[in-house]
Amino acid sequence: MSSSSIPKADLESFSNHLKQSRRILALLGAGLSASSGLPTFRGTGGLWRSHEATSLATPEAFAQDAALVWQFYSYRRHMALQAQPNLAHHALAALARRNPEFITLSQNVDGLSQRAGHRASQLHLLHGSLFDVRCTAFDCDFIQQNNFTDPIVPALAIPREQAQLKPSETDNTGAEAASSLYNAMHTANASSAKELDISDDRIEIPQIPHDELPHCPQCGDGLLRPGVVWFGETLPRRTMAAVDAFIDEPRKIDLILVVGTSAKVYPAAGYVDEARAKGAKVAVVNMDRKDTPGGPGGLQEGDWFFEGDASKILPEILKPVIGDISRKGLGQFPAAEMI
């Protein structure tokens, strides 16, 4: 469903409710970033090189081969920075600026909401961020947020295609050989050289020494790690506490937006029911009607399901509050602070 084909009655009823809503919660999943073209590496069968991606997202994998894990996450950081926040990210950021009682709980780690200028105080990251880093040393508390440096250290730069020497079969003067050697030497590290797809295990990746991996600038000794939640780790307490505090307020919740996620995995799955119990109506934006909280029958009378691309639908359904952002240059939106 494109924005132009949203049923008029659904759009009008949602718009009327949105304009009267104050306390709004958004729950975001990978579908929000689909239009930005990012690979997700989710679920069984999601491979990076010959490794199942989930097998690299553990403390044990990092302890065993920190270089390999950092190469995986450096690749993901690089891919995320090549992508751009889409209009759905900007629409939610605009709603946060308009409504200080709107909070967002995101399951995404790609940094696109932050780069769209979504207020940090209203954006809670359930699974952390690719662009946060923290020290692994036991006695060091160093944490850095929104580190968008790419690569984070020189050794993790994406390898580039090397120019090849091509011996001449006809020139006996050496002129062509000299020219070929010159070109190879001067293009080997050129920024114009094509990046290699290191997600393909046929592409050789360098062996990175431990001392060339990201180290802590505070203690000088500890190895930095990506600030994402790995399998076997607890979810961030501050994030959980902030969302729980929002839900537990005595005042009702007017609306919960569920965008690009089926919300079937806890704790995310519980937030829809908790918000509904506090009086919220539910609006789902997703590509597949089967991916609704609780399944196809999970919505109730008075809820909304908007089927289609979130980057097209969210700017349309939020327009009564945020205005028409599709006709504005995205450059006017404040960028997240780059470190």
Cα–Cα distance measured from residue 269 to residue 292, given in angstroms and rounded to the nearest whole number = 10
Query: Annotated binding site: which residue ranges?
Result: 135, 140, 216, 219
Determine the Cα–Cα distance for residues 180 and 166; give it in Å rounded to an integer: 7
* 72's tokens: 């995986």
* 40: its two tokens: 């997700």
Task: Let me know the angle formed at the C-alpha of 116 by 115 and 122, rounded to the nearest 5 degrees.
Answer: 95
SS3 for 112?
A: helix
The rounded distance, in Å, linking the Cα atoms of 249 and 138 is: 36
- Rounded CA separation 38/81 (Å): 10
Spatial contact of 317 and 283, defined as CB atoms under 8 Å apart = yes
Binding-site residue positions for Zn(2+) = 135, 140, 216, 219
127 in active site:
yes
Residue 234 CA, chain-centre distance (Å), reads: 19
Q: Which of 89, 118, 124, 127 is catalytic?
A: 127
Among all residues, which ones are annotated catalytic? 127
